[in-house]
A and B are shown apart, each in its own frame.
Chain A
Amino acid sequence: MNFIVCVKQVPDTTEVEVDRESGTIIREGVPSILNPFDEFALNEAIRVKEKTGGRITVLSMGPPQAQEALRKCLAIGADEAILLTDQAFAGSDTWATSFTLARAVEKLGKYDLIFCGQQATDGDTAQVGPELARQLNIPQMTYVESIEEIDDGSVICKKETDGGYQRVKSGLPALLAFISTPAFEPKIPSIMEVMGAKSKTLSQWGIDDLGDEDGDYGLDGSPTQVIRVYSPPQRGEGVIIEEPPEVAVDKLIEYLESEGII
């Protein structure tokens, strides 16, 4: 079977801090990581491939340095990686991103399943997966936690809902967007695997490889426009007390009373 895994390199948001004086984001020194949701999706693809056999192609759109994330995917167990990188792709919103990925998937030819992370931790939109599925006109399942069964013509997934879980079946090809499970521990590739990844193919495709469709890529092809970015409004200064427990509880009760809670 042919599997495509869509990934994104993101800044490690747990390391992102806001300069409290200026209110701007401190980007310097923030490491780039493979989006954790995508890493989970890739691991699920590897798990499935172990049973079904086949080939895993990782696909990403990003600046040239996103190669680093793709190398990691190859070390973890992907067979081939393609980076869509071109000045023309810069400034893409989710629509333009899914449009670009769709052209690349079409160019890749026959596939059975597309794996995506539910969302990327930088934008948190959760839109690219569903938008890609619709661009390709294939069924989608979002908030997927695991693949329970797969055969030549269909897949059964366990997916999260607002109120619990569902088991859902779909024909192939299909697109699955994965959340991560609390028990998931990312695989750390061995030295051998890291070395081995260097002999795997990592290609770069630009706009000429995908077909130049005027105005559909990048900023020009993006219907949404970010007009302002700023740091979130801070809440007012609170009262912080450090007292022995009895006194602290007295003050806490007083506070709850003054706020009309009790």
Chain B
Amino acid sequence: MIKVDQEKCTTCGICVDICPVSAIEISEGVISIDRGSCTLCGVCVSVCPVNAISIKRKAKTEDTSGYKNVWVFTEVASGTLKPVVFELLGKGRELADKLDQKLCAVIIGSGADKFIDELGAYGAELIYMVDDPIYENYSTDAYTSAISQLITEFKPNIFLYGATHVGRDLAPSVASNLGLGLTADCTDLSIEEEDNLLLQTRPAFGGNVMADIICPNTRPQMATVRPNVMEPLAPDENREYEVIERKISIPSRSVRTKILETISGREEHEVGVEEGDCVISGGRGMGSADKFEVLDELAGLLSGVVGCSRPIVELGWIPKSRQVGQSGKTVSPRLYIACGISGAIQHQVGIRNSDIIIAINKDPKAPIFDIADFGVVGDLHQIIPRLIDRLKKR
């Protein structure tokens, strides 16, 4: 049900211009909506400057049969595509093949066209592009409107977002706007054999249990996906793709938040802990902040990056951007070395996808040894300097 509060409405006409199906008109000073052509995409609701339009939705898609294809939201940060985009395309490719549907990327931005070759190389067959200066910086309002409009027009079956700060801000906003189910922070996705539904797997209770979730009655089936879990395809520039561009202009006054300042939390070219192929983390057993220098040295020898557990951030020794675990970053390096980390379940959740886990801890009962492939019970202050010496001699 869509309703206009005529008392609030100033007949400014923004909704008339933006409605993708021209269902709104002003006649005799009153807004009227043609319910036959209205698709309930919600764009008018989000652009109305006086909140005069409202939609009451049921979380149910009336006819799910017309919904096809697997969509991936393309997140851009600091002028490059986020690595999770390639991971989503890798998983999306598998799902699309299984369903015999197309894999599509959705890119919204200002100057978005410079990324389309890359999206094609990583497996997108169809790229939906919305390019306008209003999308230069991410805003919940503008991006929710644009995506809602694309979904309403093109009816995707599945829509995946990275479980990043942006993805976890945007996906629930879209889900709520369109009355859709959404599963957060998935670590696995597959297609159920019997009914072709998306089976979404995610951890809960701090990683103590796993849950399988389906979304039978709403389309698209939406999920945010944890970064660093899915495998990207090897890029191939010979893959063919097609671009569909849509012009969706959102008036700037409909974007209700304004970024005043952006403060970078990391040095330029610094490799984030979630991007490292080898991650060496220190915990409370390190003893003091200056002891992390040996981890830096070890990281230098193994081409790794240094991370830490939560208590270290609380002590203020290392910035939060380097925290590994449930309330920090999830990592999936080739090699993870946990030094003086007891390995609470919240830490384990963040490292479980590492190929190899090495733990060094003086407490033989530390839970980190439960998930370590190779554990050394001993004093890390004795072991790591010796390890560094040996590696230097090689």
Contact = CB atoms under 8 A, between A and B. Distances in A.
B342 interface: no
B144 A134 contact: yes
A161 B374 contact: no
B27 interface: no
A251 B390 CA distance: 12
A142 B165 contact: yes
Interface in A18-71: 18, 25
Given A121-B206, A130-B172, A224-B214, A141 B257 contact: yes
A24 B138 CA distance: 41
A235 B334 contact: no
Contact of A143 (B60, B165, B203): B165
Interface string A235-262: 1101111110110110111010001011
B212 interface: yes
A86 to B, nearest CB: 18
B323 to A, nearest CB: 9
A261 B302 contact: yes
B209 A25 contact: yes
B182 interface: yes
A196 interface: no
Nearest to A154: B258
A11 B209 CA distance: 13
A234 B177 CA distance: 38
A257 B278 CA distance: 15
B30 interface: no
B48 to A, nearest CB: 8
A172 B390 CA distance: 61
Interface residues of A, number: 84
Given A96-B59, A161-B165, A225 B213 contact: yes
B265 A134 contact: no
A95 B386 contact: no
B364 A240 contact: yes
Given A182-B314, A225-B215, A164 B210 contact: no
Interface stretch (A1-9, A74-82, A198-206, A215-223): A215-223
Contacts of B256: 139, 170-171, 174
A245 B210 contact: no
B356 interface: yes
Looking at A99, A121, A141, A245, the one whose CB has the most chain B CB atoms below 10 A away is: A245
A137 B394 CA distance: 62
Contact of B386 (A25, A129, A249): A249
A209 interface: no
A171 B258 CA distance: 9
Looking at B144, B369, B373, B379, the one whose CB has the most chain A CB atoms below 10 A away is: B373
Contacts of B59: 95-96, 99, 216, 221-223
A168 B262 CA distance: 9
A11 B58 contact: no
B390 A235 contact: no
Contacts of B208: 13, 16-18, 25, 231-232
B183 A224 contact: yes
B372 A240 contact: yes
Interface in B85-108: none
B373 A14 contact: no
Main secondary structure of the interface of A (DSSP, over half): mixed
B164 interface: yes
B181 A224 contact: yes
A160 interface: yes
B250 interface: no
A17 B210 CA distance: 13
B182 A224 contact: yes
B391 interface: yes
Nearest to A16: B208
A246 B176 contact: no
Interface residues of B, number: 94
Interface in A109-144: 121-135, 137, 139-143
B172 A94 contact: yes
A100 interface: no
Nearest to B58: A216
Contacts of B11: none
B329 to A, nearest CB: 9
Contact of B382 (A127, A156, A245): A245
B225 to A, nearest CB: 13
A130 B346 contact: no
B3 to A, nearest CB: 12
Contact of A230 (B140, B209, B217, B265): B209
Given A139-B256, A232-B352, A242-B377, A127 B172 contact: yes
B169 A125 contact: no
A186 interface: no
A11 B386 contact: no
Given A122-B204, A164-B262, A240-B372, A127 B212 contact: no
B16 interface: no
A261 B179 CA distance: 49
Interface in B228-271: 256-266
Given A223-B60, A228-B212, A238-B369, A249 B383 contact: yes
A140 B169 contact: yes
A95 B181 contact: yes
22 contacts: A13-B206, A123-B204, A127-B168, A128-B172, A129-B172, A134-B172, A137-B54, A142-B165, A161-B262, A162-B77, A221-B59, A223-B179, A223-B215, A223-B217, A227-B212, A227-B214, A235-B357, A240-B374, A245-B378, A252-B383, A261-B334, A262-B302
Interface of B: 45-46, 51, 54, 58-60, 77-78, 82, 140-141, 144, 164-166, 168-169, 171-173, 175-177, 179-185, 203-218, 256-266, 278, 302, 313-314, 316, 320-321, 326, 334-335, 344-346, 352, 356-358, 364, 369-379, 382-383, 386-387, 390-391, 394
Q: Top 9 nearest A-B pairs by Cβ distance? A: A223-B181, A164-B265, A13-B206, A134-B176, A125-B184, A139-B256, A130-B172, A131-B176, A240-B375
